[in-house]
Amino acid sequence: MSFASILRKSASSFAPVASRLAQGGRRHYHYALVTAINNSNLSHKQFISPLVPYFHYSSASKKSSSDESLVRVIDSEIQCAAESDDHERVEEVPSGFPFEILDNPGVQTVTLKRTYQDEDIHVEVHMPNLVTGEDEDDDNGDEDGEKASQSSIPLVVNVSKKSGPSLEFSCTAYPDEIAIDSLIVKQPENSEDQIAYEGPDFHDLDENLQKAFHKYLEIRGIKPSTTNFLHEYMINKDSREYLVWLKKLKEFVEA
C-alpha cells in the first residue's frame, strides 16, 4: 500500500471522531455559559455576545451623570447670584471724585488715575475683604480687634514724577479710615542681583512722620470720602464678576 493511501485511510477514520469531539466541546461550552448566566441572574440583554459582557454603568455614563449634577448645582448658584441686586447696581460717581476709573470686565482689580501738579498717581483697588459680623465677639476690644471686625479694601497707591523714583503705599481702607501698611521708594531701574533697602516698617516710623504721610495721601485724593465710595463700588463689581464666572463655568462643563 502506498504512503498516500495510508494517509487517506487514516484521515477518513479520524474525521468522525474529530467531529464528535467538536460537537461535544461546543455542547459543553454552551452548557457552561448558560449555567453561568443563570447562576448570576443576568438577563440576555446584558450581553452583546456570548463572549463580550455589556456593563450598563460605564465610566462614560458616570461622568455624564456627574457633569449633569454639577450643572444643576451651578444653575442653582447662578439663580441665587442673579437674585441679588448688587450685580445690577451702578454706583454713581460722587461729584468731586478726583480719579478716572478704569474698570475692565473679568479683572479683579480697578485702576484709578489722576495727575496732581507734576505727579502721576495710580491706585490699584482690590476686591473687598467682607466681614459678616459672625466673628465680632472674637476680638479683644482693642484697635486691631475693631479693624478685624470691619470690611475693608486693599489699595496700592503709586505716586511718580516725570523721572526718578516713585513712592508706593500699600494701604487698607476701612469705613471712614485709611491705614498705611507699608511705604517703599521704587527705583525706575530694576536690578536682579541687588535687593533694595525698603525702609523700616511703617508703624515703626515716628508718629509725626506717619501723620504727615497720611496727610500727603489725603491731599492727593486718598481720603475716606474716596475709599467709602470705592468700597461699595468693589462690592458691586465682585457680584458682577462672580455671576459671569459662574456662567463661564457652566459653559465649560456643558461643552
129-166: pLDDT as tens digits: 988 655 545 555 566 666 777 899 999 999 999 888 89
- Asked if residue 253 belongs to a domain, the reply is no
- Integer Cα distance of 237 and 86 in angstroms: 8
> Residue 9: its pLDDT value, please?
45
8 pLDDT more than 60: no
Do 52 and 120 belong to one domain? no
Name the DSSP class of 86. Answer: T
67 pLDDT more than 60: yes
- Mean pLDDT within 32-53: 46
- Asked if residue 11 belongs to a domain, the reply is yes
- Integer Cα distance of 125 and 156 in angstroms: 7
Do 230 and 106 belong to one domain? yes
- Asked if residue 231 belongs to a domain, the reply is yes
Do 111 and 221 belong to one domain? yes
Rounded (10°) CA dihedral 185, 189, 190, 192: -120
Do 27 and 110 belong to one domain? no
> Residue 91: its pLDDT value, please?
72
Contacts of residue 104, Cβ cutoff 8 Å, sequence gap at least 6: none
- Asked if residue 15 belongs to a domain, the reply is yes
> Residue 143: its pLDDT value, please?
61
Do 131 and 221 belong to one domain? yes
Q: Quote the domain boundaries for residue 203.
A: 100-238
Closest to 169 (Cα-Cα) out of 221, 244, 239, 102? 221
Q: Read off the CATH number of the domain in which 136 is found.
A: 3.10.280.10
- Mean pLDDT within 115-119: 95
Is pTM beyond 0.85? Reply is: no
190 vs 236, higher pLDDT: 236
Do 220 and 119 belong to one domain? yes
Do 14 and 138 belong to one domain? no
> Residue 133: its pLDDT value, please?
59
Do 124 and 188 belong to one domain? yes
Do 116 and 211 belong to one domain? yes
Do 145 and 41 belong to one domain? no
DSSP codes of every residue in 26-63 = HHHHHHHHHHHHHHTT--GGGBSSSSSB--SS-HHHHH
Which residue matches cell numbers 437674585?
83
Looking at the structure of the chain, the number of domains it has is: 2
248 pLDDT more than 50: yes
Do 131 and 219 belong to one domain? yes
17 vs 232, higher pLDDT: 232
